[in-house]
């Protein structure tokens, strides 16, 4: 069977690689039976479009960041993936993204006509700013910070004392250059790829939250496949999740090197405890929104008892 | 793809509006290639392509231009230009060019310049004895500056589509804009000399002072827009809203705008916006079909197969864009072509700001190239001349535009030195 | 203001035309003003109050979408849609009508097909929600608002636009047929973008 997989990540972004990895692995595991053509780099639309394209069956499979799901499908549970500091390292994330609550999130997409296949990771978020390295939570105070305008992120950055601003993705470079924003919370590969560092020289490795996303498939298309094909797709995808996460981790290390060579000053964040303390209230507020969020938090706490 | 382009061409020639021709050709393509199921995607593409924050620059900059025109700003600019240069031979034609440059600093779209200045200057030039077609052609040709000198809707959209700094693009647009102004002025002056076009009376010092004072609030706006962006007070998209608010203030101050008259520029803007957006929406379907057929990769490979010489490739890109710009609205042309051109630009390692200037210049010139050009159409309608007449008159002026384009293409420092001064590049 | 053309039309049609023109004016004014005000307030909040409106961007996008889709018909009627004349312009008025009539029929077929797919798309994606409405509700009331309003009606704008525009095309075709049959001035029967006599509709 021939399938089309579309995503909005640009060439060089970890997710671009993951889509190709997935297509190759599924073909191999199905003995060449499931043949996937990948359309990346926003060729068929951006992240937000993917959900619609797949949901309506125009494209068979897609990838979109988890931030989109609370927003446009009202699946608040996905916010659990971005609670600050809950999952500290890539290695922990690799386990969490295949944990039972995570799989429950994937399954919760059925009523939107989507079959959630598996998670992947786009890159931990760090802090890029113009004025100097961030040494303590105090330093966030009043910084005009570009965020993706969703309630969870707005809440987190307000709790940290920053002044969060929703600048459209395409305007980040100009906004930083013209000082409309002082900083941006971003993943390392986007900082490198979009050359945002040209206008801001300090990266603080805050690692405040991850940026997971998921591969999903049109539900009817999925149901029309043979059990063998279904198994090849879902199992391959879920088995690859840890590899995706580790690939992103490796990519981040490489990109940090590139940024250093470009003269960007990169520093560790020494005040993690206060960051966690300041954002603690968010956990409680969000747990009330969906039982799955509480479940995910419990699961995460088992990691490092 | 041949049948697709052929079908599109036939539909255009038979008088189908550009927006619908794009849609119908896409529809026909899916129908005849047995992919009619893909029609399912059209509504999503149509909705998604309009549902873009950056496209708000279209109504906002159009409205700023319309309000400026409506509140008598145009007359003030013309009076100021007249005080500066009216006494030279062919004075009124030079006023036309110079006023266009000032107006360009306010409006974000060339078409706004054509209609605003055209309605004042074409009748005035005809009254003074200039040939109708020449007056209309000069108005159209000089209004191209409206899309090159900042602010510019085309530049904002280019910046967002490619992730290039809009502030740098704006600054980079200044030099080509001024070059075009100089080129057209020299041409107008030469035409006036050879055809003995009239001189106007030298204005008194007093009138010159008065005209300058009257123009100050107008000349302040470009400074607000550019300064506001450079100093981080607002983003380029927000600057469009600020321009509108400023125009509203000026209009109220001059008592030309009130609750009974304001509906008119608002309705004009909304309807023009709707028509442009429909083209954008339909162009996104063409772009979708191209991506689906993996055309960008094929064209890139094809172009690189012909030559890897960077200068020849730049020439090819220019020709492609001029043809595209001749038939399409600039935003639609970018939506369709940028996925390809960016690939080629990467291979020849051209600076993104420099490349942006080339793209914008091409598409802006395309607004005045026959047989399709919105500025041309507007100038024809105001001057009551036929497309044939204006096409003949505008040809030498197009050559000047293309000369500027060539300089910009092959001497990148001409456009890049200003942004390099203003920004840490 | 001169609104709606009334010559040789039955009363009900003239009344309808006036009402429609009024709708276009009111809608244009409201949408344009809202966009300007929201964007202005956004700059003020961000720059002066050091806060930002989380919903401003999204609401402005929807206003633009509303403007685009609800006004396409009016834009056509005003001759805002660019088309080429270099070939058809050489023909006699009668031949132009004979060429343009089937073209408009073709466009109408396309638009109605698109409308049909558009309705399908809207119902398939009715589970998508408009987040901005909830953000505004939360910002205004200070309490968590979770209406999760469906995007269905936003998506329905696409088929609505197709139907509005095809209605205009159908009326344009009726005018063309009347012109061909000699029941009306053929020159005036040309569709708006081709008609050198500018439309007197909302001027
Ligand atoms: Na301009
Ligand atoms: Na043109």
For residue C8, the model assigns a pLDDT of 57
- Split at pLDDT 50, 70, 90, the class of C4 is very low
> Averaging pLDDT over each range in A10-19, A24-33, B406-415, which range is the top one?
A24-33
- With tokens 């398939």, the residue in question is C124
For residue B158, the model assigns a pLDDT of 92
pTM for the whole thing? 0.86
Least confident stretch, A61-70, A278-287, C116-125: C116-125
- Split at pLDDT 50, 70, 90, the class of A171 is confident
Mean of pLDDT values over B35-40: 80
Higher pLDDT among residues C6 and A230, named by residue? A230
Between the alpha carbon of residue B141 and those of residues B150, B298, C61, C118, the distances in Å are 17, 35, 33, 41
- With tokens 């809009």, the residue in question is B166
pLDDT over 90 at A128, yes or no? yes
Asked whether the beta carbons of residue B271 and residue C85 sit closer than 8 angstroms, the reply is no
Residue B402 CA to ligand 1 centre (angstroms): 19
Asked whether the beta carbons of residue B159 and residue A174 sit closer than 8 angstroms, the reply is yes
pLDDT over 50 at C67, yes or no? yes
Residue B286 CA to ligand 1 centre (angstroms): 28
Name every chain B residue with its beta carbon within 8 A of the beta carbon of A57.
40
For residue B410, the model assigns a pLDDT of 93
- With tokens 């499979």, the residue in question is A61
Q: Note whether residue B27 is domain-resident.
A: no
Burial B290-310 (b: 16+ CB within 10 A, else e): bbbeebbeebbeebeeeeeee
**Ligand 2 (single-atom ion) residues, CB below 5 Å:** B 326, 366, 369, 372-373
Whole domain around residue C100: which residue ranges? 11-201
pLDDT over 50 at C74, yes or no? yes
Q: Note whether residue C94 is domain-resident.
A: yes
Asked whether the beta carbons of residue C125 and residue A56 sit closer than 8 angstroms, the reply is yes
Q: How far apart are CA B229 and CA B166, in angstroms?
A: 9
| CA gyration radius, chain B | 21
pLDDT over 50 at B68, yes or no? yes
Whole domain around residue B90: which residue ranges? 35-423
Q: How many CB atoms lie within 10 A of CB A281?
A: 11
Mean of pLDDT values over A257-281: 92
Rounded to 5°, angle at Cα C61 from C57 and C64:
140
- Segment B166-191, tens digit of pLDDT: 888 999 999 999 999 999 999 999 99
Mean pLDDT score of chain B: 88
Q: How far apart are CA A166 and CA B422, in angstroms?
A: 26
Q: Note whether residue C3 is domain-resident.
A: no
Mean of pLDDT values over A130-142: 92
Six-digit token string for B138:
């000069």
pLDDT over 90 at A286, yes or no? yes
Q: How far apart are CA A172 and CA A184, in angstroms?
A: 8
Residue B213 CA to ligand 2 centre (angstroms): 37
Mean pLDDT score of chain A: 91
Residue B26, CA atoms < 13 Å, CB-side half-sphere: 33
Asked whether the beta carbons of residue C146 and residue A74 sit closer than 8 angstroms, the reply is yes
Our count of domains for chain B comes to: 1
For residue C6, the model assigns a pLDDT of 45
Q: How far apart are CA B193 and CA B344, in angstroms?
A: 45
Phi, psi of A264 (to 5 degrees): -80, 135
For residue B120, the model assigns a pLDDT of 86
Q: Tell me whether the omega of the peptide bond preceding residue B371 falls within 30 degrees of 0, making it cis.
A: yes
- Split at pLDDT 50, 70, 90, the class of B134 is very high
Q: How far apart are CA B385 and CA B379, in angstroms?
A: 8
Residue B329 CA to ligand 2 centre (angstroms): 8
pLDDT over 50 at C2, yes or no? no
Asked whether the beta carbons of residue B236 and residue A45 sit closer than 8 angstroms, the reply is no
| Cβ pair B224, B178 in contact under 8 A | no
Percent of chain C clearing pLDDT 70 (strictly above): 92
pLDDT over 90 at C110, yes or no? yes
Q: Note whether residue C6 is domain-resident.
A: no
Where do the H-state alpha helices sit in chain A? 14-29, 47-55, 68-73, 90-96, 100-107, 151-159, 172-177, 188-193, 219-223, 227-261, 272-287, 291-303
DSSP assignments along A165-229, one per residue? E---GGGHHHHHHTTS-SEEEEEHHHHHHTTGGGG--EEEE------EEEEEEEHHHHHTS-HHH
Q: Note whether residue B286 is domain-resident.
A: yes
Q: Note whether residue B112 is domain-resident.
A: yes
For residue A230, the model assigns a pLDDT of 95
State the DSSP code for C150: B
For residue C1, the model assigns a pLDDT of 42
For residue B242, the model assigns a pLDDT of 87
Pairing of strands A265-268, A202-205: parallel
For residue B424, the model assigns a pLDDT of 67
C residues 69..88 contacting B (CB < 8 A) = 69, 71-72, 74-76, 78, 80-88
For residue B22, the model assigns a pLDDT of 92
Residue C41, CA atoms < 13 Å, CB-side half-sphere: 13
For residue B213, the model assigns a pLDDT of 87
For residue A127, the model assigns a pLDDT of 95
Chains in contact with B, counting 3 or more C-beta pairs less than 8 Å apart as contact: A, C
Q: To the nearest whole angstrom, how far is the Cα of A249 from the nearest Cα of chain B?
A: 25
3-state secondary structure B179-227: HHHHHHHHHHHHHHHHHCCCECCCCCHHHHHHHHHHHHHHHHHHHHHHH
- Spatial strand order of the sheet with A114-121 comes to A35-39, A2-6, A61-65, A212-218, A114-121
Q: Note whether residue B26 is domain-resident.
A: no
Candidate from C32, C107, C202 with C-beta closest to B20? C107
Q: Note whether residue B10 is domain-resident.
A: no
Interfacial residues of B (vs A; Cβ cutoff 8 Å): 38, 40-41, 44-45, 48, 53-54, 159-161, 163-168, 229-237, 288, 291-292, 296, 339, 423-425
Q: Measuring CA to CA, which residue among B346, B410, B404 is closest to residue B162?
A: B346
For residue B340, the model assigns a pLDDT of 84
- Split at pLDDT 50, 70, 90, the class of C121 is confident
Asked whether the beta carbons of residue B17 and residue C28 sit closer than 8 angstroms, the reply is no
For residue B425, the model assigns a pLDDT of 61
Pairing of strands A61-65, A202-205: unpaired
Six-digit token string for B401:
């535009």
Q: Note whether residue C78 is domain-resident.
A: yes
For residue C197, the model assigns a pLDDT of 63
Nearest ligand to the C-alpha of residue B102? Answer: 1
Our count of domains for chain C comes to: 1
Q: How far apart are CA C56 and CA C35, in angstroms?
A: 9
Between the alpha carbon of residue C33 and those of residues A68, A111, B1, B172, B319, the distances in Å are 30, 39, 43, 32, 41
- Segment B75-118, tens digit of pLDDT: 888 888 888 887 888 888 998 999 899 888 888 888 888 988 88
Residue C134 CA to ligand 1 centre (angstroms): 37
For residue B372, the model assigns a pLDDT of 80
- Segment A176-203, tens digit of pLDDT: 887 888 999 998 988 887 778 888 899 9
Q: Note whether residue C64 is domain-resident.
A: yes
Q: To the nearest whole angstrom, how far is the Cα of B337 from the nearest Cα of chain C?
A: 20
Six-digit token string for A274:
């206060």
Residue B362 CA to ligand 2 centre (angstroms): 10
Higher pLDDT among residues A131 and C5, named by residue? A131
Nearest ligand to the C-alpha of residue B330? Answer: 2
Q: Measuring CA to CA, which residue among A102, A164, A176 is closest to residue C135?
A: A164
- Split at pLDDT 50, 70, 90, the class of C203 is low
Torsion of CA B224, B229, B235, B241, to 10 degrees: 10
Q: Measuring CA to CA, which residue among B123, B118, B125 is closest to residue B140?
A: B118
Phi, psi of A268 (to 5 degrees): -75, 160
Q: Note whether residue B17 is domain-resident.
A: no
Q: How many CB atoms lie within 10 A of CB B113?
A: 31
pLDDT over 90 at B211, yes or no? no
| Cβ pair A53, B41 in contact under 8 A | yes
DSSP assignments along B82-135, one per residue? HHHHTTSBTHHHHHHHHHHHHHHTT-S-HHHHHHHHHHHHHHHHHHTT--HHHH
C123 near A CB under 8 A: no
Interfacial residues of A (vs C; Cβ cutoff 8 Å): 51-52, 55-57, 71-74, 111-113, 142, 144, 149-151, 154, 163-166, 168, 180
Q: Note whether residue B333 is domain-resident.
A: yes
pLDDT over 90 at C97, yes or no? yes
Q: What is the ipTM of this complex?
A: 0.84
- Segment C40-64, tens digit of pLDDT: 998 888 878 877 777 888 899 999 9
Q: To the nearest whole angstrom, how far is the Cα of A281 from the nearest Cα of chain C?
A: 15
- Segment B344-371, tens digit of pLDDT: 888 888 999 999 999 999 999 999 998 8
Higher pLDDT among residues B12 and B34, named by residue? B12
Q: Note whether residue C2 is domain-resident.
A: no
Mean of pLDDT values over C2-19: 70
Q: Note whether residue C192 is domain-resident.
A: yes
For residue C202, the model assigns a pLDDT of 67
Q: How far apart are CA A244 and CA A25, in angstroms?
A: 12
Between the alpha carbon of residue B351 and those of residues A262, B83, B361, B425, the distances in Å are 18, 40, 15, 11
- Segment B10-32, tens digit of pLDDT: 998 998 998 999 999 999 998 88
Q: How far apart are CA A154 and CA A82, in angstroms?
A: 12
Q: How many CB atoms lie within 10 A of CB B320?
A: 18
Q: Note whether residue B23 is domain-resident.
A: no
Higher pLDDT among residues C146 and A56, named by residue? A56
């Amino acid at each position: 069977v021939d399938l089309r997989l579309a995503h909005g990540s640009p060439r060089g972004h970890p997710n671009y690689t993951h889509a190709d990895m997935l297509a190759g692995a599924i073909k191999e595991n199905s003995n060449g039976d499931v043949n996937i053509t990948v359309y990346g780099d926003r060729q068929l639309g951006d992240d937000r479009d993917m959900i619609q394209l797949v949901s309506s069956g125009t494209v068979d499979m897609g990838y979109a960041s988890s931030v989109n799901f609370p927003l446009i499908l009202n699946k608040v549970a996905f916010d659990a993936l971005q609670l600050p500091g809950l999952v500290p390292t890539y290695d922990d994330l690799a386990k969490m993204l295949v944990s039972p609550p995570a799989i429950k999130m994937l399954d919760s997409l059925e009523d939107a006509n989507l079959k959630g296949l598996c998670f992947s990771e786009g890159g931990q978020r760090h802090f890029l700013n113009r004025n100097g390295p961030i040494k303590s939570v105090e330093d966030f105070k009043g910084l005009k910070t570009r965020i993706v305008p969703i309630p969870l992120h707005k809440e987190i950055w307000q709790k940290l004392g920053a002044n969060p601003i929703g600048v459209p993705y395409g305007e980040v470079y100009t906004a930083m250059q013209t000082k409309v924003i002082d900083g941006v919370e971003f993943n390392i590969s986007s900082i490198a790829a979009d050359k945002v560092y040209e206008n801001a020289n300090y990266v603080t490795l805050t690692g405040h939250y991850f940026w997971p996303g998921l591969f999903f498939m049109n539900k009817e298309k999925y149901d029309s496949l043979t059990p063998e094909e279904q198994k090849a797709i879902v199992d391959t995808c879920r088995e690859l999740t840890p590899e995706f996460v580790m690939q992103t981790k490796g990519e981040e290390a490489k990109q940090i090197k590139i940024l250093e060579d470009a003269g960007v000053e990169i520093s560790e964040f020494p005040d993690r405890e206060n960051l966690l303390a300041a954002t603690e209230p968010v956990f409680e507020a969000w747990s009330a929104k969906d039982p799955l969020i509480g479940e995910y938090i419990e699961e995460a706490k088992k990691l490092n008892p | 793809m041949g049948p697709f382009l052929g079908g599109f061409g036939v539909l255009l020639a038979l008088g189908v509006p550009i927006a619908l021709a794009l849609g119908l050709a896409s529809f026909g393509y899916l129908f005849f290639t047995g992919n009619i199921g893909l029609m399912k995607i059209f509504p999503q593409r149509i909705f998604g392509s309009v549902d873009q924050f950056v496209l708000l620059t279209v109504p906002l900059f159009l409205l700023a231009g319309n309000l400026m025109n409506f509140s008598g700003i145009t007359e003030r600019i013309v009076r100021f230009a007249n005080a500066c240069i009216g006494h030279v031979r062919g004075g009124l034609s030079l006023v036309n060019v110079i006023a266009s440059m000032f107006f360009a600093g306010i409006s974000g779209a060339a078409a706004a310049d054509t209609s605003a200045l055209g309605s004042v200057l074409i009748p005035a030039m005809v009254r003074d004895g200039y040939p109708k077609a020449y007056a209309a052609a000069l108005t159209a040709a000089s209004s191209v500056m409206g899309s090159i000198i900042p602010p510019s809707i085309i530049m904002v959209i280019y910046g967002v589509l490619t992730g290039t700094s809009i502030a740098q693009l704006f600054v980079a647009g200044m030099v080509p804009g001024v070059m075009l102004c100089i080129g057209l002025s020299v041409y107008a002056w030469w035409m006036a000399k050879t055809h003995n076009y009239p001189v106007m009376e030298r204005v008194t010092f007093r009138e010159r002072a008065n005209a300058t004072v009257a123009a100050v609030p107008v000349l302040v706006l470009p400074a607000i827009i550019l300064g506001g962006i450079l100093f981080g007070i607002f983003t380029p998209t927000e600057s469009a809203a600020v321009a509108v608010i400023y125009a509203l203030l000026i209009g109220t101050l001059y008592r030309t705008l009130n609750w009974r008259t304001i509906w008119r520029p608002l309705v004009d803007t909304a309807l023009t916006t709707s028509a442009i957006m429909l083209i954008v929406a339909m162009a996104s379907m063409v772009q979708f079909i191209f991506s689906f057929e993996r055309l960008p990769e094929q064209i890139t490979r094809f172009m690189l197969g012909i030559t890897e010489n960077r200068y020849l490739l730049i020439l090819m890109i220019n020709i492609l864009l001029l043809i595209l710009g001749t038939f399409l609205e600039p935003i639609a042309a970018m939506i369709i072509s940028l996925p390809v051109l960016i690939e080629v630009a990467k291979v020849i390692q051209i600076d993104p700001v420099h490349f942006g200037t080339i793209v914008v210049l091409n598409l802006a010139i395309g607004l005045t190239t026959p047989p399709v050009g919105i500025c041309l159409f507007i100038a024809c309608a105001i001057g009551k001349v036929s497309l044939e007449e204006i096409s003949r008159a505008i040809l030498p002026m197009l050559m000047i535009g293309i000369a500027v384009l060539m300089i910009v293409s092959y001497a990148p420092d001409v456009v890049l030195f200003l942004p390099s001064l203003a920004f840490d590049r | 203001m001169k609104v709606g053309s009334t010559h040789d039309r039955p009363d009900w049609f003239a009344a309808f035309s006036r009402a429609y023109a009024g709708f276009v004016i009111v809608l244009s004014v409201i949408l344009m003003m809202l966009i300007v005000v929201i964007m202005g307030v956004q700059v003020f909040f961000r720059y002066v109050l050091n806060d930002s409106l989380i919903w401003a961007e999204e609401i402005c996008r929807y206003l633009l979408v509303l403007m685009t889709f609800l006004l396409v018909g009016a834009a056509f009627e005003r001759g805002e849609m660019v088309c080429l004349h270099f070939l058809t312009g050489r023909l006699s008025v009668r031949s132009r009508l004979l060429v343009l009539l089937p073209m408009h029929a073709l466009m109408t077929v396309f638009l109605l097909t698109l409308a049909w797919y558009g309705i399908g798309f809207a119902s398939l994606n009715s589970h998508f929600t408009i987040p901005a409405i909830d953000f505004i509700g939360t910002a205004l009331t200070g309490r968590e608002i979770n209406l999760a309003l469906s995007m269905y009606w936003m998506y329905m704008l696409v088929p609505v636009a197709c139907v509005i525009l095809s209605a205009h095309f159908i009326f344009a075709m009726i005018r063309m047929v009347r012109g061909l049959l000699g029941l009306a001035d053929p020159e005036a029967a040309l569709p708006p973008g081709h008609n050198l006599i500018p439309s007197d509709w909302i001027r």
